[in-house]
Structures are given as structure tokens and as C-alpha cells.
Amino acid sequence: MKKILPKMTTDEEVESLLEQDLSDYLHEDNFKPVSFEFKPKDKTVNLRVSPRVTRKSQNSCQKRRNIVSKIHPKGNREIFG
């Protein structure tokens, strides 16, 4: 039997739903297409993060073979990935 997901407004309602068998909720009426925007951007973001977060990001990029560039205040450029 197909069931429609109820609207939930509290964590308790969600937790209650998750305790049930959800197989009746798995049908196309409970899902909708989602699109992501992957267009090039012309703005940059500058973030200050801890050295630990920087190392984790660099390691993750190296594992995925992504290229990350970092420009130091002195103008030196470092490439990771």
C-alpha cells in the first residue's frame, strides 16, 4: 500500500516515523526531482579555517584528485591535488 509522507514539524515526529517500516513510503509520489547548479561562478570566497581543517581538505582533494590552489599573502601559489 502506498503511503504519502506526512508533514512533520518536530524532531519527535521524525523520530517516530523513522521507527516504523518505511517500505510503504518508497514510491515516486514521495520524491521530486532536484537540480543542482554547476555553472561557473565569477565570485570568490575567502575563509579562515584551522590548520586541521586545511590538512583534511588537502588530503581529501588528493584522494579525489581535485586541484585546490592556495595563494599566500606574499603572492606565492601552492597547488594541492
pLDDT tens-digit series, residues 32-60: 888 777 777 777 777 788 888 888 887 88
Residues in the chain: 81
Q: How would residue 81 be classed by pLDDT, with cut points 50, 70 and 90?
A: very low
Alpha-carbon 50 to chain mean position: 20
What is the DSSP-derived secondary structure letter of residue 8?
-
Q: How would residue 78 be classed by pLDDT, with cut points 50, 70 and 90?
A: low
pLDDT tens-digit series, residues 53-74: 888 887 887 777 666 555 455 4
Give the residue from 61, 67, 3 showing the smallest Cα distance to 30: 3
